[in-house]
Structure 1
Amino acid sequence: MALDNQDLIFAGLMGSRAVNLIQNANILNNELSNRVLPVIPFLPLKSGNNNVSTKPGRGINLENNWTTPDAVEEQKQFFPLSFSFKENSPKWLFPYEPMINFGSGNNIVKRNVAKQGDKLIGTIKERWSRKDFDVTVTGVLIGSIMQGKPEDCFPREHFIKLFDFLKHSKEIFIYSHPLELAGITKVVVEDYSFPFTKGENVQAYELKLTSDYSYNLLIEETF
């Protein structure tokens, strides 16, 4: 893999071992861009897909600044994720496809039987009930301009829109193919965090959600 002038300068400052680091980072970025997350500038590496911005900005050096796509179209995402406040209200699509992990289990009432023999091993399982699904969503928001003032490069619009859902005091509707297969259409937000992220235009997030379902707790009896 060829190194450009910027890579060589970085290698000269960091030592000979940085050459392998740069090459490995390039391979990692290429693999990530072909799968879930977009390329994140972990190191000062130049991507062939980045172009110099032609849109004027406040306090931005256009000659040394790169741009990134503001969002990825839904058709180009493998498992796109969307939120909505109501079932038939407009959906908000996550600009970059996040990583989704979810799991559940069973609540089992167990009883220990005294003086168990060889044919009675373990506990007696009396009742089962299903637990909620715990859903973890991890991803990044990325502004279109990589360097500059916060109002220019930080992904403000996406951040504000996502935060509107996170502070919502009711359930929110969620749309994702694997979640729909598991019967998860509504969730409530339990925890969320926005950890420090390298890059002026990059903000990572982690959401912890719990599945929610509609129940009819009133039973009408006829006499």
Structure 2
Amino acid sequence: MALDKQDLLFAGLMGSKAVNLIQNANIVNNELINRVLPVIPFLPVKNEKNNVTSKSGHAINAEDNWTTRDSIEDQKQFFPLSFSFKENGQKWLFPYEPMINIASGNSIVKRNVAKQGDKLIGTIKERWSRKDFDITVTGVLIGSIMQGKPEDCFPREHFSKLFEFLKHSKEIFIYCHPLDLISVNKVVVEDYSFPFTKGENVQAYELKLTSDYSYELLIKDDF
């Protein structure tokens, strides 16, 4: 399947890994445009039909600059994602709805039986336990002004707030409908990256999170 110009622009924005996802992503492309990622005018050509306005900044000529919204309210996102440091504490909403991948499985202890014969095939599964949920969050932060100095166009406020959660040395609370359905409300941050991203006001990110639960390791017995 050949890549069109829009696919190449998306790959340039999100990184080389996105090329492998483009064919599947095209199936839900319309939904992503309506619900997840904003429409970004990459090309420096003004079009009066685009819904953009001018916004002044430091040392910026507003007449020659594009502006866009730097966040979307949670009511207009399909699966909004939020973080908080404490349970039921103040939530920080991801400004644009990210893509979330969830993976898990079972840890199984297997034993090989010698001289199995024809009636006993394979291994003996002695016991198993559920693995953690591995959650990958991929998205972008977008500043309101598309060109200019870093203090004007780079999404500094959203970037700094997200980094506060990423460097937190304890579990963080997470709120998202699919995660709520599988009873995941706490995660720890394992890895994160901010890859090179096209656009002066755009910064992509990828977070690797692992589910966390509260356990009582000491059990009282009533005699």
TM-score bucket of the superposed structures, by smaller chain: 0.7 to 0.9
For structure 2, the residue ranges without an aligned partner over 5 or more in a row are: 11-25
Aligned 8 A contact 2:111 2:125 in 1: yes
| 3-state DSSP of counterpart to 1:207 | strand
Identical columns (%):
79
Who is 1:49 aligned against? Answer: 50
1:79-94 matches, cutoff 5 A: 79-94=79-94
Aligned 8 A contact 2:81 2:97 in 1: yes
Counterparts of 2:221 and 2:6, CA distance in 1: 71
Classify 1:210/1:179 alpha carbon distance in 2 versus 1 (closer, same or farther; 3 Å).
same
Size of the aligned set, in residue pairs, is: 201
| 3-state DSSP of counterpart to 1:136 | strand
1:100-139 matches, cutoff 5 A: 100-139=100-139
Question: How far off its partner does 1:63 sit?
Answer: 1.2
| 3-state DSSP of counterpart to 1:34 | helix
Q: Which amino acid aligns with 2:94?
A: F
Aligned 8 A contact 1:52 1:64 in 2: no
- Give deviations 1:46-79, integer Å, cap 9, x for gaps: 56334241x3211212111011111101000000
Aligned 8 A contact 2:33 2:39 in 1: yes
- Give deviations 1:58-103, integer Å, cap 9, x for gaps: 1212111011111101000000000000012110000000000011
1:1-223 matches, cutoff 5 A: 21=5, 31=30, 32-44=32-44, 48-53=49-54, 55-223=55-223
Classify 1:46/1:98 alpha carbon distance in 2 versus 1 (closer, same or farther; 3 Å).
farther
Question: How far off its partner does 1:22 sit?
Answer: 6.9
Classify 1:21/1:105 alpha carbon distance in 2 versus 1 (closer, same or farther; 3 Å).
closer
Aligned 8 A contact 1:170 1:188 in 2: yes
Aligned 8 A contact 1:154 1:202 in 2: yes
Question: How far off its partner does 1:108 sit?
Answer: 0.3
Classify 1:38/1:45 alpha carbon distance in 2 versus 1 (closer, same or farther; 3 Å).
farther
Q: Which amino acid aligns with 2:50?
A: N
| 3-state DSSP of counterpart to 2:63 | coil
Classify 1:211/1:46 alpha carbon distance in 2 versus 1 (closer, same or farther; 3 Å).
farther
RMSD: 2.2
Counterparts of 1:176 and 1:46, CA distance in 2: 37
Aligned 8 A contact 2:188 2:210 in 1: yes
| 3-state DSSP of counterpart to 2:179 | helix
Who is 2:16 aligned against? Answer: none
Q: Which amino acid aligns with 1:152?
A: D
| 3-state DSSP of counterpart to 1:108 | strand
Runs of 4+ in 1 over 6 A off after TM superposition: 22-26
Counterparts of 1:178 and 1:214, CA distance in 2: 20
Aligned 8 A contact 2:112 2:122 in 1: yes
Structure with larger Rg: 1
Normalising by structure 2, report the TM-score. 0.83
Classify 1:83/1:22 alpha carbon distance in 2 versus 1 (closer, same or farther; 3 Å).
closer
Aligned 8 A contact 2:82 2:176 in 1: yes
| 3-state DSSP of counterpart to 1:63 | helix
